[in-house]
């Protein structure tokens, strides 16, 4: 990973120049995003309906969870997910911060007591992320790109880590298919910057197909 970090030390100007040279790629990427999101919504809508009913029966609260995230160029937007935690999850977070298993500003523990029964299933299969297909349709996200971070997390990013904000956030990325919970925060950020330099249509398509396998269960998800 050290070699990846060294190869990924790029400047903001270099990223912007790279973007200007690849306008064709970004046009194709948007076309893939729209077609992919529409097809995904149509094909998976029966699953989404069943999950929505299951969530309502499993615990009190709304089916969907909207949370402010930081998107491309630092712009904030509401990211949607199926609710996988109890209603007072944010209040309970303060009591669990000492048990954080993720390095850096992000919080994650494998046995999070805030997660509901169905929440464990939809998080392990990544079904909880499916509502973000609507974020993709609206242009706030892409099928492939760095996962969107919370404002409080971005506030603690280094200048190197902030480079990932140049890209539109995505439903999947290198981190999503390379280990997730087994990857440290620093390695995660390095993967995102690595993606910025390697991204092209082929890379995006490969990542999309690799992510489909995660929907059938990933032992490293949490």
Residue 38 in domain: yes
Question: 77 forms bridges with which residues in the sheet?
Answer: 69
DSSP assignment, residue 55?
A: H
Tell me which range, 93-102, 134-143, 191-200, is most confidently predicted by mean pLDDT: 134-143
The total domain count for the chain is 1
Domain assignment of residue 181, given as a range: 2-214
Please report whether residue 219 resides in a domain.
Answer: no
92 to 27, 85, 171: CA distances (angstroms): 43, 11, 27
Q: Is the pLDDT of residue 14 over 70?
A: no
Question: Residues 154, 70: contact at Cβ < 8 Å?
Answer: yes
Residue 209 lies in a domain: yes
Asked, for residue 18, whether it belongs to a domain, the answer is: yes
**Spatial contact of 35 and 127, defined as CB atoms under 8 Å apart:** no
Give Rg (Cα) of the chain: 17
Classify residue 195: in a domain, yes or no. yes
Query: How far is residue 211's CA from residue 206's CA, in Å, rounded to a whole number?
Result: 9
pLDDT tens, residue by residue, 90-122 = 777 777 776 676 666 777 777 788 889 999 999
pLDDT tens digits, one per residue of 177-191: 887 667 888 889 999
Closest CA to 132 of 187, 211, 205, 210: 211
Which tokens sit at 221? Answer: 């998800």
Q: What is the DSSP letter of 149?
A: B
The answer to the question of residue 221 being in a domain is no
Please indicate, yes or no, if residue 193 is contained in any of the structural domains: yes
**Is residue 118 a part of any domain in this protein?**
yes
Question: What is the value of pTM for the model shown?
Answer: 0.82
Alpha carbon distance 170, 172 (integer Å): 5
Residues 6+ apart with CB under 8 A from 214: 125, 126, 172, 176, 177, 221
């Amino acid at each position: 990973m050290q070699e990846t970090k060294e190869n990924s030390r790029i400047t903001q100007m270099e990223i912007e120049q790279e973007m200007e040279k690849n306008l064709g790629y970004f046009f194709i990427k948007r076309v893939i995003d729209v077609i992919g999101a529409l097809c995904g919504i149509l094909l998976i809508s029966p699953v989404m309906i069943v999950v929505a009913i299951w969530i309502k029966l499993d615990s009190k609260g709304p089916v969907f969870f909207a949370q402010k995230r930081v998107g491309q160029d630092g712009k904030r937007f509401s990211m949607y997910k199926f609710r996988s935690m109890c209603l007072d999850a944010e209040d309970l977070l303060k009591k669990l911060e000492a048990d954080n298993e993720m390095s850096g500003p992000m919080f994650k523990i494998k046995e999070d007591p805030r997660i509901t029964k169905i929440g464990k299933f939809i998080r392990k299969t990544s079904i909880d992320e499916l509502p973000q297909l609507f974020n993709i349709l609206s242009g706030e996200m892409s099928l492939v790109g760095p996962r969107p971070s919370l404002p409080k997390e971005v506030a603690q990013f280094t200048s190197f880590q902030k480079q990932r904000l140049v890209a539109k956030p995505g439903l999947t990325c290198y981190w999503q298919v390379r280990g997730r919970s087994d990857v440290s925060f620093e390695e995660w950020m390095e993967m995102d910057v690595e993606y910025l330099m390697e991204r092209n249509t082929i890379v995006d398509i490969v990542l999309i197909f690799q992510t489909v396998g995660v929907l059938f269960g990933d032992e490293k998800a949490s």
